[in-house]
A and B are shown apart, each in its own frame.
Chain A
Amino acid sequence: MYDFIIIGAGVIGSSVARELSKYQAKTLCLEKENDVANVQSLANSAIIHAGHNPEPGSLKAVLSVLGNKLYDTWEKELSIPLLRTGAFVAAHNEKEEIIIENLLKTTIENMVPEYEVLTGDEAREIEPNLAKSITKVLSLPTTKVTYPWEVAFACMENAINNGVEFQKNKQVTSIKKVNGFFEIEVNKEEIYQTKYVINAAGVASDDIGQMIEEPPFKIKPRKGEYFVLDRRVKGFVNHVLYPLPSEKGKGVLVTPQVHGNILLGPSSEFIDDKFEASTTDEGLKYIKEHSVELAENIPFNMIIRSFAGIRSTSTCDDFYIKESKTNKGFYYLGGIESPGLTAAPAIGPYLVNEIIGVGNEFELKSDFNPRREPRLEFHRLPWRKQQALLDEDHLYGRIICKCEKITEKEIIDAIHGPLGSHSIKGIKKRVRAGAGLCQGGYCEEKIMKIIARELNISPLDVEYDDPQSKIFKEETKVDE
């Protein structure tokens, strides 16, 4: 019998897991995918917004402004990479400048700690590639960019380190309320029992709710497509650039990323299939058309990839973070779309302390360790540290991913460990091998061989992502 079962290990589920791991409560996190952060948290802009446009007083507003601040603590405790970019919200004419003024009011009401209005020219002094048509900007210096996979990994690793159990490839197939506890059926065969259920299932959070009651909201999933520019465009812009927000969302942005890449996007459209994240001709065209409104000379020839992400827009306007009205002990984290990533550090404590009140029933752990060691990025370390590591392990000397300078030892470490990955995609999420200019052309074969060797399996059993997604169909000449 568990005290808490968390359904979903995206950024939100992981943040809750970490918060719960502070308490002497037996906690399990179940994730249906083959990895942490594999659906919404997999594909988004990676922005930690300032909190400038959610409705004042809403959870979105309060938790994102608080979350933004808490990332400073997370950076230190959990070694989460942060890029302090700041942001400009752009206006192109008088009509839009009025909207900027309104946005400023919202910014102030939401208690965003820093903000400034600049003329287009002043902004262009700071960002020379800003579009010439921009006449005014709202500057939001507290805007940051992070690496969402690493946020989820960091929270979950820390949670595991502090006693939380994590299981992947476990899809919840039914939930029953029995005599004061819940029975959770997984993959149609296993049963877990728990006193409390935390539904952090993202786009499927209404489906999970549907298993025991009429859920208090419906997810209306939206898709957003993006282009990724190679990290050699680093410095093209240094701020996150926003257009004015509309009912479609924040609009097509130009976003510098932690490793130097730049994202263009997202587009925004409602989709029927919750897990359908394909890119479309129209979506990609839309991004190209609108990103030029923000910046001049966008180096489109440096596009190395496009992808699509899903957001769990819901029939509620705000985050739905409440206990079920009908089934006590069942808690919803619903509609956590943007600014979900921003609010993540605040959502965990908010749910655990304010909504559940875990401290009323469970003691804090005296040996809770808030620290999680940073993931080693060898070629970003200072020279002396590199030399010391090379003395420890020669495999730091063999470069596997030439484009991003990722070493064999980093890949081996990404395979092993409590949150290690056995798949090509999982390795890429952890250490970026294959995420560069050649998109795995040079290194995928080598990574495949390392996985096979480290796990003592045949290359035929190496997975791309899903356990069923093996890379190879067969070895030639073997069955003859």
Chain B
Amino acid sequence: MATVATIGTSTLNEVSRIKYLKSMLELSLRSALVSEKICQVDRTEAKFIANPYITAMTAAISSTLGTYALTTQATTDDTCTVQDQVSSASHLFEFEETLSRADLYSSFVQEMTNAVAVKVDQFVLNKVLDGATGAYTCPSGGFSSTNIVEIMSNLISKVAGFAEMYKGLFLVIENTEIPGFAAAQVNSGFSYADAALNNGFMGSFMGVDIYVVRSGVFVTTTLGSLTATNSGHRLFGVKGVATYAAPRGVQYDEKKVTLITGREIACWANIGAKVWTPKASLLVDVTI
């Protein structure tokens, strides 16, 4: 529902001199969405995505014998289940839309779909972090400029040597860690430091893509079906090894409601995320 009293209440004298910047309302600040950059995304209409795995096999080496030994292999089910829903809804009365000089409907839908996408992003990041089995604790001082190189070196070593590493590495930090990173980048020397000094914060450091989310994305609280204990933690890993399922992506619907003018607008997304068991060590839970 719009509080339209604050829109277009200018006096007649002012109205003739007012120019609206846009046909829509100005929307709130938008957070960067990261999860699609680091996960494999599935938008098919599946509730379950099954990905059974096999135990790791090893090969024996010996002098030429002509014989061999058998080992038993086991398979295990692993499933990504879509069981959470993110929603945002409101009602827009007919008089609000008609009497407003801005396009309230478009403004509502854009704002709500963005809110849904941001919450989905937070859920996925926290869910993937919860499933990460790699672990690293930063030295005292966390992501300070003097620690950055040591931290990045250690994080890279956690996944180095696995073939998947060449899919690309990522680190998700919150904006409060930028001061340490920015200082490390401009002080790192030579052409890289020059580039950082000229262009500002670099989205890549030591071959790792750095994604920045707003403070408060990694949380210790209940997020739908997830009991997240991630405050003070960040996520590092190999891109594309976790799966995030959002059947049909963000959807919206507008409907007439009996006895009320205008339309009810609802936006929602159904989501699930999974870190596949054999690949879980390619994702590292970074404790600050």
Specify whether A and B are partners. no
B contact set with A: CB distance below 8 Å? none
